[in-house]
Structure 1
């Protein structure tokens, strides 16, 4: 999500174009030729050629036998580094894994990252449907996920409307809430329930509950925890899911507080 009005006056065009190339190539699993890259990225063939050569040399693009280019292995390395950074302290990961093991449901940690609602850590549970999108770094569909709703609910109405205007209200399933009014009513229901909920709003076979770990003046220090269940489970076990999530949130709050405590002075 880029804001055109926020474009810096000293934007380095060559860097911006190189990133657009990576995005275009990443969307095509079979690869793109230099000519196709130039067309899709709205640049000259000469510019595309020089940038592609550089990205290939640095390992961010891979050249196939037919001359097309796909994403390179350096991109995977950067993703692993991103996941490690997002995961945070080991104590937080331990809490998530324990909750996933005891409940059988996948658990997710979420926060704001650069003003985006992002999944920052995941612990897979054996009884949850697997969704390939829900990995660290996922920043889409906040209006359709319980994790996203919990963080949206920490914003005031003006901030929330601005976020939704920029991100959009994409319809993922027939149950997705695609108007600000219905979403506001849903957030209010979740607040009364003590848990934000979505049932088949992001995927038809998936449901999710989420609670706030802590709020903070700094958006980047706000955290929520969510768990994913089969769509039919959450309605039957809502109270149990909420209780377990609240307990997990407490443990996560303690883990986060420990990592932020100042180191003891030694003499």
Structure 2
């Protein structure tokens, strides 16, 4: 688990995070299941599971011979929510957007070198589909909100971002080639709105608009996730209007908070 001097190695950290992902996605898993999914030797899997259990990142259900997520992750999640810091008023605006559109509403931000989902408003009738959730950051090139924030970077910085993060094909429709992506980003920069059809999730369309600060710079993105089978051109246009309106309201809220 550790390099010389007791510091965790990069490989060990990657392995423990991969184990947490498997347990989270499956709602619990046995050591054998984790070993089979990740291809780790069973002794290595047991050693990593013991470390995660001691840290309370996992809990071992002995009777069921399974591991589930531990309460330490909930504490870390609470801390992360606090650091991202979406104000209650902004959460309220996203809640109103969700109700008006009858669709999941998201707020995405730049966080370090990532484009991250900072807040999700959904309900049992209109749930946000996996993998989209708080903290999602893997596919800026394939999401409307990601393209809004990439377009705000400018061509040079956006190209560097895409080189570092890659442009994986999430579906058959995902635009991965640099030329089409850069042309799309230029269009988004001009219009302030991005739309993608089935590029992250095959049966979903997402629509997003940028939130601008006092200087006119895009600092975050408001998005809706629509079911493609129920999305007419009129509904898509209405979704564009709603995200623009909400993005403007979020921007006004930020300006009011920062006024003397």
TM-score by length of 2: 0.78
Residue-by-residue CA offset, 1:108-150 (whole Å, 9 max, x unaligned): 1110112100000111167756412211100011111000000
Moved beyond 6 Å, runs of 4+:
39-42
**1:61 equivalent among 36, 51, 58:** 58
Please list, as runs of the form range in 1=range in 2, the aligned pairs for 1:25-174 lying within 5 A after superposition: 25-28=20-23, 29=26, 30-32=29-31, 49=47, 53-65=50-62, 69-86=67-84, 88-124=86-122, 128=126, 130-174=128-172
Provide the C-alpha distance between the structure 2 equivalents of 1:169 and 1:94, rounded to a whole number of angstroms.
33
Contact 1:129/1:205, CA 8 A, preserved across alignment: no
The offset of 1:78, in angstroms, is: 1.9
Provide the C-alpha distance between the structure 2 equivalents of 1:135 and 1:200, rounded to a whole number of angstroms.
17
CA pair 17-194 structure 1, distance change in 2 beyond 3 A: closer
Residue-by-residue CA offset, 1:135-190 (whole Å, 9 max, x unaligned): 11000111110000000111122221221122111111111101111111122233
Contact 1:61/1:70, CA 8 A, preserved across alignment: yes
Residue correspondences, number? 247
The offset of 1:11, in angstroms, is: 9.8
Specify the alignment match of 2:225 in structure 1.
228
**1:190 equivalent among 176, 183, 188:** 188
Q: Structure 2 stretches of 5 or more lacking a match?
A: none
Q: Secondary structure of 1:178's partner?
A: coil
Provide the C-alpha distance between the structure 2 equivalents of 1:92 and 1:153, rounded to a whole number of angstroms.
23
Q: Structure 1 stretches of 5 or more lacking a match?
A: 1-9, 263-267
The offset of 1:204, in angstroms, is: 1.6
Specify the alignment match of 1:204 in structure 2.
202
Provide the C-alpha distance between the structure 2 equivalents of 1:11 and 1:237, rounded to a whole number of angstroms.
56
